[in-house]
Structure 1
Amino acid sequence: MSQIVGFNELKIGQRVKVKGQALEGGKFTALEIVVKPDEEDVSFEGKLQSVELQTRTMRVMQRDFSVQSGVLIKNLARQDVGLDGLKVGDVIKVKGNYSPVRGFVPLKIKVQEPRGFAIDELQGAINKIDRETNTIEVIGVAIALNEKTEIDGI
């Protein structure tokens, strides 16, 4: 098994920002993990893959989210818009709450400046660590680490 520098210092409950790539089947490969100060909010950031106005659902990072009517949505100019103000391909940041029982519940959605590369990002507390398989779980997402994963802030 390869050695991942800093992996043994990660702890359950630690808040992290993970940058990487979301793959089909809900898998996520980490390129960079940064340990962050404790906060309540958790978030996903990536390209909007689909938005369904009738069912009020959207897909980001290969995951489907239900968007309740009270969710605050802001466009790139930081103006309030509805779900219909989002376009497939927009880079969005979705902030919300997470619990193992309810899953991720979006509270705010903001359109971000587009980037020239496709890196997905999520932030939240580490829920599980599996040192045998080099994986962690953050806001219900299983994240694979490898020898190329950089871990900072420890």
Structure 2
Amino acid sequence: MARSVVFAGGLVVLPLTAGCDGGGSEPAGKGRQSATAAPVVSALEAQVVAPAKVEVIAGLTGCEVKIRTEAAELREGVCHTGDGDYLITTFPEERFKETWLDTISMYQGTYLVGSRWVVSAQPKALEEFRGTLGGTIVHHSGVGPSAASSP
């Protein structure tokens, strides 16, 4: 079931990352100049496509990040703000992100997921970040017994 949720989430993210032009109703390629001319990119378009780099995503969300994990499969940084803390995780390849999402699906949480990056924060903050970063909000309900159940 977790794989189907991740797969379905990927299907939702794919059109957003492949053809999103930042809120317009036309496909991303429409209204652009020919291939020989430099492409026209509005400020809104530049904001919506966040790069897969912890420091840049942190800057777009308004924080100075502290890197806490540097590994071949991922980089993770933590942002401390007055409104709460949040994590930014980036991946060198999409497959590492998919493995990470599959692994964390057993835990309850809400995440903003983009192309090779994930932001873990309170849902209200994720809604705000989505306006700047793009991506898809994913909810995991976790698995196993709840705290209220008895053995």
Flag the structure with higher helix content: 2
TM (norm. structure 1) is 0.26
Report 1 or 2 for greater relative contact order, CA contacts < 8 Å, sequence distance ≥ 6. 1
Bigger Rg over Cα: 2
